[in-house]
Each structure stands twice: as structure tokens, then as C-alpha cells.
């Protein structure tokens, strides 16, 4: 699979307890990205965070929390990310979705040629 040097990072912030049908939302997003042949996805579980409700979610022992923050990161070409966004929109009820331009320096075992002058 090829990832261009100038790519997009799609970052999705959701809660661990959010569901899509009967499966965890983060799992459903990663499986859908894989099905649509995006370059890759990573799920990060946060030990602490808050969102639009300002309710604090934490892993502290005395405050064992459910619904910890989850971040899904997907990097691919702008075109492939743009194609994935409507699918993602259908899956997410609430959360935060961000996009940013990134430069890919390596993907797998391949180094991306530096074309800077």
C-alpha cells in the first residue's frame, strides 16, 4: 500500500463505552477503515480526559471510571480520508473529529524520499 509524503491525519476522539450497533465504536471504526483499505489505524486509550460535558473520566484507583477517552488516528491520502469521512459521520453520534496535514517520513519498511529543497 502506498501513502503519499503529503498526507492527512484523521484523529477521532470518542468514549470507550460508545457503541456502534453491538460493538465498541472504536473497534467498528478501525474495522471499517481496514475494510476500505486505508493505510492503517491506531487506537490510543487515555488514562484521563473530559469532553463537551466537562465530566472527568479517569483511571485513578478511587475513581474507577468507565468510558475512558479513546483516540483513533488514521493517516492516508487526502482523497482516501475524504472518502472515509461520510462513513465515519454515519457511525459517530458524539465525539470530536479533527484533520491535519502531515508529512509521512516512513511507512512500514519504506522511507519516503525527502523532496525538500
List the chain domain ranges.
Answer: 6-104
Q: What are phi and psi of 40, to 5 degrees?
A: 170, 165
Q: Is residue 35 pLDDT above 50, yes or no?
A: yes
Exposure string for 13-32, b = 16+ CB within 10 A, e = fewer: bbbbebebeeebbbebbbeb
pLDDT over 70 percentage in the chain: 87
Q: Return the CATH architecture of domain 6-104.
A: 2-Layer Sandwich (3.30)
Global pTM reads 0.84
Amino acid at each position: 500500500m502506498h501513502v503519499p509524503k503529503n498526507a492527512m491525519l484523521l484523529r477521532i476522539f470518542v468514549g470507550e463505552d460508545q457503541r456502534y450497533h453491538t460493538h465498541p465504536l472504536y473497534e467498528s471504526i478501525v474495522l471499517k477503515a481496514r475494510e476500505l483499505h486505508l493505510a492503517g489505524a491506531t487506537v490510543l486509550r487515555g488514562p484521563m480526559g473530559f469532553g463537551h460535558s466537562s465530566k472527568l473520566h479517569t483511571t485513578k484507583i478511587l475513581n474507577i471510571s468507565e468510558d475512558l477517552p479513546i483516540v483513533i488516528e488514521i493517516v492516508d491520502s487526502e482523497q482516501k480520508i475524504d472518502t472515509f469521512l461520510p462513513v465515519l459521520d454515519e457511525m459517530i453520534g458524539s465525539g470530536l473529529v479533527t484533520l491535519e496535514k502531515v508529512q509521512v517520513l516512513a511507512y512500514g519498511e519504506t522511507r519516503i524520499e525527502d523532496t525538500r529543497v
